Amino acid sequence: MVEPKKSCLLCNNKSECFKQLTDNELVIANSNRAEISYRKGEMIAKQGNFYTHILYLQSGMVKVYKELPDGSNLILSIFGVGSLIGLPFLFKNQILDYSVSALEDTTICSINRTTFEKLIQENGKFATEVVNQLNYCTIYNYDRLVSLTHKQLNGRFADTLLYLSRVVYKANPFILTLSRKDLAEYTGVSVMSIIRAIKDFKNDGVIDINGNKVQILNFNQLERISKTG
């Protein structure tokens, strides 16, 4: 589904690095850009494909995940409005090594890869913001490594809930657009374990879940579970 384009110059929705560009550079970026809409559940980019474009999330929400040989998945990250996807594959990497699919109806700006690379080389402020973005992800990945290897079920799921409320949905209560399977694939446990953890947290009054409406009732206790679990 290709929608009518609006120029980057007029976009009031720019990511940090694009705010650093001159009008001239924005015109160039704009001419190397496509706008695409996806429905919830649709695949946006497939692991193993050639990597040709950076994706900018104009609206909606996506999951970035590794497809593993045994058929299971590991969700690496959940991205909301304003995120750039595919940065780790700039310059040297020809093949995309993860998949991206829509968790909600989503609009993507697809920006030519080489255009993006040229902007890094030619505009220091742009490069700086790209490095910032990459570093944010790296530090987040380090924290995830700790959470996923040194915490057990409840601690990990507490991390997942805090991440969803604070970073992904930026709300409480929030409407969960991830399935139990998604939660399991993000938390790195089985679906059964997620269901059990939800039940436990609900029984203990830490959270409330009705359908897909989730409310964190006790942030302090969730923090405590995150630390001790």
Q: What residues line the site for DNA (CB under 7 A)? A: 152-154, 156, 179-181, 188-193, 195-196, 198-199, 209
Task: Write down the least CB distance from residue 43 to DNA, Å.
Answer: 14
**Among residues 157, 140, 178, which one has the least CA distance to residue 229?**
157
CA atoms within 13 A on the CB side of 144: 16
CA 73 centroid distance within chain: 15
By a kind-dependent CB cut-off of 5 to 8 A, residue 190 interacts, out of DNA, its own copies, none, with DNA
Distance CA 124, CA 225 (A): 43
* Using rule CB under 8 A, residue 92 touches its own copies: yes
C-beta contacts of 137-141 below 8 A and 24+ residues apart: 137/77, 137/87, 137/88, 140/77, 141/76
Q: Please, which of residues 174-193 interact with its own copies by CB under 8 A?
A: 188
Is residue 208 within 8 A of residue 137, CB to CB? The reply is no
Piece in contact with its own copies (CB under 8 A), picked from 33-41, 43-51, 65-73, 160-168:
65-73
- Whether the upstream peptide bond of residue 173 has omega within 30° of 0, thus cis, is yes
Task: Write down the least CB distance from residue 129 to its own copies, Å.
Answer: 9
Nearer to its own copies, 39 or 166 (CB): 166
- Interacting residues toward its own copies by CB under 8 A: 66, 68-70, 72, 74, 76, 87-93, 97-98, 117, 120-125, 127-128, 130-132, 134-139, 141-142, 144-146, 148-150, 188, 227
